[in-house]
Amino acid sequence: MKNISVIGSGTMGNGIAHVFAQNGYSVSLIDIKEEALERALSTISKNLDRMISKEKIKASDKETTLNNIKIFTSIELGVKDSDLIVEAATENKDLKFKIFKDMDVYAPKHCILASNTSSISITELAAQTQRPQQVIGMHFMNPVPIMQLVEIINGYSTSDTVTNTIEELSKTIGKIPAMSNDYPGFIANRILMPMINEAIWTLHEGVGDVNNIDNVMKLGMAHPMGPLQLADFIGLDVCLAILEVLYEGFGNPKYAPCPLLVNMVNAGKKGVKSGEGFYSWTHGTKELVVSSSFH
């Protein structure tokens, strides 16, 4: 494994590219928009500066890392020498299906095709290709350069060789792999999303307010941030999409999204990315939204 391609240069994609490049891999970062790629390189550069200021890396490491990344607006050119491609596009099934078809056409025969999806079936993604045994999930956690976990998801047809290769590769980039089989939500979101949903129900039913709900989980259960703040950070639209995948996949009412979450997403309140969710983020830090605004 020498050449890694990353498709999608958003928050997850640039983080994945950063981590591979910092660990000496040659990275091709691919996005349809040139400006998105320039933004990604700027983000990676700033994150490396932060690591230098904390004395985690040297200035020369930043230069080497950035030199390891090349940018492309064409999948065909960006994956032609790849040993591994990590797809990190928006969490949209149709888009990911198209990307997997394209990767399969343009990537070398030996190349492993991975997805950073948090909820879409790896088996379904693999079915878009002629190499289902070489398709696997690599679900990184945000922010990628800091979070140690990578959830590795085996599709129905994923070969043991590919699983072992990706498990070892994860360790070489300083991550701790957690192995999961391909069922809705995998491990992380199958456990996390019902907790977030229950926190939203607790608010919706007036059991507690935002501050108290988050404080109970932070101070009482030793979580680094409360579930409502975490939902804002993930994106309320993303939480809703994952809950819908769980509900549809299992047909169990315990996964049904809280109506308050549905209303907030429909109203455009998506958390940090929109400036307001359970908290207001318009000043860059969280402030409590007046709780009467929850309907």
Find the catalytic residue in 68, 139, 180, 197. 139
Find the catalytic residue in 82, 151, 170, 180. 151
Find the catalytic residue in 3, 14, 115, 189. 189
Identify whether the C-beta of residue 238 lies closer than 8 Å to the C-beta of residue 119. no
The set of long-range contacts for 234-237, using a CB threshold of 8 Å and a minimum separation of 24, is: 234/142, 234/196, 234/271, 235/270, 235/271, 235/272, 235/273, 236/261, 236/264, 236/265, 236/269, 236/270, 236/271, 236/277, 237/265, 237/270
Find the catalytic residue in 115, 118, 170, 274. 118
Clarify whether 151 is annotated catalytic. Answer: yes
Clarify whether 139 is annotated catalytic. Answer: yes
Identify whether the C-beta of residue 4 lies closer than 8 Å to the C-beta of residue 82. yes
The bridge status of strand 176-181 relative to strand 279-280 is unpaired
Respond yes or no on whether the N-terminal peptide bond of residue 143 is cis (omega within 30° of 0). yes
Report helix angle 34-53 to 11-22, nearest 10.
Answer: 60
Catalytic residue numbers, as ranges? 118, 139, 151, 189
